[in-house]
Amino acid sequence: MERTQFVAAANVSERLAQPPALAISTVIFALRPSAESGRPTLWLPLVRRIREPFKDLWALPGGPLTQADSLQDAAARNLQDTTGLAPNYLEQLYAFGGLHRSPSQRVVSIVYWALVQSTQAELAQESENVKWFRADRLGELAFDHNEIVDYALWRLRNKMEYGTIAYHLLGEKFTLAQVREVYEAVLDRTVDPANFRRQLKQTAYIEPTDQFLQGGKHRPPRLYRYTGIDSVTSGTGPAQHPPSRL
């Protein structure tokens, strides 16, 4: 950058010369069975930073905003590139723009959050530089990514109570017990099976199929199907979630 002779104007022209960089990142959640209990818990994939700043620390997948994509498309594309994942649900989380998020240059990050099905999560290849972590056992992450994940978790728990979100962590067909497990994993508390079933059948957007899940050592549970909208609408606007209380 070349300096002007005028000191007073120097700051201004420097600022104008170097606008804040725009980045897109995504917090991706998936449900995987925990090693210990076997019950499903929340996991998320992180990528290792291969350069400064924060070299060798883990960070959210992301990158600069590609010019040809809308914000949401850029998030989806970047997800595909870095982790190979195609999310089932993708929504904007927040724009983080604090002054000192990155030591060198000012970076404004528009962060998305996504849900992928467990089956997808299985497929996602781990590598030297991409690894899955339990959402409640992250170490220190690069930048302000710990805060970002915390906020994404808060948002996920909040949306969960609106009832239309849990299905995006499951496959096409699922039992009510599986939905309940999602709730228990995300909200981190037990839910009464009978009462949960009652509420789901009232409000939520599911319909019974005529299939049953065989193989357990018990009465085979009925499989259900999600009938709501699949929220990876690649539209430019925000996703308005109805306050259909669960």
Partner DNA sequence: TCAGTTGTAGTCAAAATGACTCTAACTGAG
Partner DNA sequence: CTCAGTTAGAGTCATTTTGACTACAACTGA
Q: Which of 19, 193, 208, 220 binds a second copy (CB under 8 A)?
A: 19
Q: Which of 176, 185, 204, 232 binds DNA (CB under 7 A)?
A: 176
**Under rule CB under 8 A, residue 7 binds a second copy:** no
CA neighbor of 138 nearest in space, from 57, 23, 24: 57
From the list DNA, a second copy, none, partner contacted by residue 8 (C-beta under 5 to 8 A by kind): none
Q: Which of 59, 124, 177, 239 binds DNA (CB under 7 A)?
A: 177
Interacting positions 63-102 with a second copy (CB under 8 A): 65-71, 92, 94-99, 101
**Under rule CB under 7 A, residue 220 binds DNA:** yes
Choose the stretch contacting a second copy; rule: CB under 8 A; options: 78-86, 167-175, 187-195, 236-244: 236-244
Residue 59 or 177 with smaller CB distance to DNA: 177
Interacting positions 108-147 with a second copy (CB under 8 A): 108, 110, 147
Strand partners, 30: 43
DSSP for 23-91 reads EEEEEEEEEEE-TTT-SEEEEEEEEE--SSSSTTSEE-SEEEPPTTS-HHHHHHHHHHHHH----SEEE
How far apart CA 186 and CA 245 sit, in angstroms, is: 17
Amino acid at 241: H
Burial 20-52 (b: 16+ CB within 10 A, else e): eeebbbbbbbbbbebeeeeebbbbbbbbbbeee
From the list DNA, a second copy, none, partner contacted by residue 106 (C-beta under 5 to 8 A by kind): a second copy
Strand partners, 29: 115
**Under rule CB under 7 A, residue 136 binds DNA:** no
- The contact set with a second copy (CB under 8 A) reads 12, 15-16, 19-22, 65-71, 92, 94-99, 101, 106, 108, 110, 147, 151, 154, 158, 161, 236-238, 240, 243
